[in-house]
Structure 1
Amino acid sequence: MSRTRRPDRSQARIGAVFTSGYALLLIAFGVVPTLYTIFLAFTTDGAFAGISNFTRIFGDYRFLPAVAHVAVYLVVYLVTLLVFVVLLALLVHSIGRRWLANSLRFVYYIPGALAGASSVMLWLFLLDPSVSPVAAILNAFGFENFVQTVSVDNLPVIFTIVAFWTGAGGWIVIMYGALNNISADVMEAARIDGAGPVKAAWYIQIPLLRKWISYTAVMSLAAGTQLFVEPRVLSQASKGVVPPDYSLNQLAYLYAFRQGDFNGSAAISLLLLAVAAALSAIFVFRGGLFERD
């Protein structure tokens, strides 16, 4: 009996060593800041304040517009990301020539090498019709100058394009790997039964990708709710055309570092965390992310 248990204990020790670093960083930079945020959100000057901080931010005229901006962006971004990532992954996976499929995956992944701020700076150039290489396309949509392009009504689409261009490549690679894990026997049986590429994708591949689609949605939702760098850079570049309180993260920043109200900032952050966690839970359970195959 002892001989059979020793490998298990050894593997458990090795696993604990490899995960201990992450666990310590998670506690230091995840759990502790979250607990401190909860403390700030429900206190004022160190005294328990109930929900007064939350009622104050609800009464702020900037709060509901910021909520609407983030909500619209998330809907546009998540729908666009999930649809096009799955379609592009299926397209690459269907290519018979390996070198071409590998080249496309590499091309998709290149934009992900750029950091958020660098990506936005590149798009500042592309969105200015006076210098953009795609000025003809911008003019076709009626945009004759940079201010018209980055108007508030256009921002959800602009931020979606920037986020998709930066992050979609990594998700396509992940989805491609998931497609490779689908049994060849299953796909062969579908072809024998007369299923073409479209039917095979709709009835077999996409359902088997459900967990990965759910995982993509959860991670992209978490990133999307943290919208900050893109509107902040555009706000500075447009000289106020994009408001400095466009997103909830920007509003929390203003509360903390412009108004000195860290309690209000913590309340906004906690609400954002709660909503993101609730929406993520829906994707997790509806997508069967933790179900065993």
Structure 2
Amino acid sequence: MTSGKWFGWLCVGPYLVLLSVFGIGPVLYALYESLSDPRSYVHATADFRFLPALGNVSLFMALYLPVMVIGVLLLALFVQGQRPLYGTTLRLVYMLPGAVTGSAGVLLWYVMLQPALSPFAPLLHGLGLRTGNDVLKPSYLVVIFALMAFATGFGQWVVIMYGALQGVPREVLEAAEMDGCSWWQTALRIKLPLISKYVVYMVILAFTAGLQIFIEPQLLYGVAFTGSKSWSLNQLGLLFAFDNGDFAAAAALCLMLLAVCTVAACFLVFKAKFFETEVGR
């Protein structure tokens, strides 16, 4: 084996070890655990909390995923159209919300959603929301969680999409301008098609992250005691394991989520010909 191949294996080796220990290993163990009880999948889906959690996550995904994808693309296109100094400043500003994550992020959102504490109190009052209970109603949680997830994740994706847009050949853009293309025509017919694989990559990761929503409802419940401890499917899996002691059902639920994410990712990858290159055509 040449020195170049050794160096390649040396670079990828730590990743393969971590993937095996924290990725493939847990999946295999979850499969073994779920098969320890032949009815584990039935127990997971027949639980009275499963359908409400599935409905919550479905509504969340229907709101969060389009807002994330469309919002990121619009912001990236907007940033690219600015002067370099303004563009750099905007990218920094967009990254700041993502720096406040986890429990600190939930506490920050909790304060912002309390009319008595929030700097946005006039806006909340204008919407008829006078108290924290008015804001943190169970029917509003889908919107709140979608906003929290978007604020946490959009900045990094704007930076990635901005970098992808910078790779669009300048001569192609100049030709479009000479042909009289408007800003929207250039964006929809030239820029976005040329970065479609980056968009597919973002959709895959945003979909998998949204389907496994856990931090936002779990921490907000701990802070505000609003909603249900089984609001999301991942929360329900936690309850199966540590409240009911049913690790087989918890493993089954996790594997079902993994299966949905895998099927969706494979569909998008093959539909978009993700790994096809110009050389391979």
Normalised by the length of structure 2, the TM-score is 0.95
Aligned pair 1:67/2:67, yes or no? no
Distance 1:164 1:285 in 2: 27
Corresponding residue of 2:75: 88
> Following TM superposition, by how much is the alpha carbon of 1:56 offset from its aligned partner in structure 2, in angstroms?
1.3
Q: Does 1:40 align with 2:33?
A: yes
The answer on 1:279 being equivalent to 2:264 is yes
Q: Deviations over 1:192-225 (max 9, x none)?
A: 1011211101110111121111101111112112
Q: Tell me the CA shift for residue 271 of structure 1.
A: 0.8
Show the counterpart of 1:158: 144
Relative to the length of structure 1, the TM-score reads 0.91
Contact in 2 for aligned 1:147/1:238 (Cα 8 Å): no
**Amino acid paired to 2:126:** A
* Runs of 4 or more above 4 Å deviation: none
Alignment partner of 1:229 out of 200, 205, 215? 215
Deviation at 1:285, TM superposition (A): 2.3
Aligned length: 278
In structure 2, stretches of 5+ residues that fail to align are: none
| Partner Cα distance (2:49, 2:260) in 1 | 18
Indicate conservation of the 8 Å contact 2:107/2:223, yes or no.
Answer: no
SS at match of 1:120: helix
RMSD: 1.3
Does structure 2 retain, via aligned residues, the 8 Å contact 1:210–1:288? no
Q: Does the alignment pair 1:24 with 2:17?
A: yes
Identity in percent: 37
Partner of 2:197: 211
Q: CA deviation at 1:139?
A: 2.0
2:245 corresponds to: 260
Using the alignment, how far apart are the partners of 1:107 and 1:11 within structure 2? 41
- Give ranges in structure 1 of 5+ residues lacking alignment: 1-5
Higher relative contact order (CA 8 A, sep 6+): 2
Instruction: Please state how far the C-alpha of 1:143 moved relative to its aligned partner.
Output: 1.8
Give yes or no for contact 1:111–1:165 (8 Å, CA) kept in 2: yes
Corresponding residue for 2:236? 251
Are the equivalent residues in 2 in contact too, given 1:226–1:249 (CA < 8 A)? Answer: yes
Q: Is the 8 A contact 1:151 1:242 kept in 2?
A: yes
**Aligned-residue offset at 1:78:** 0.8
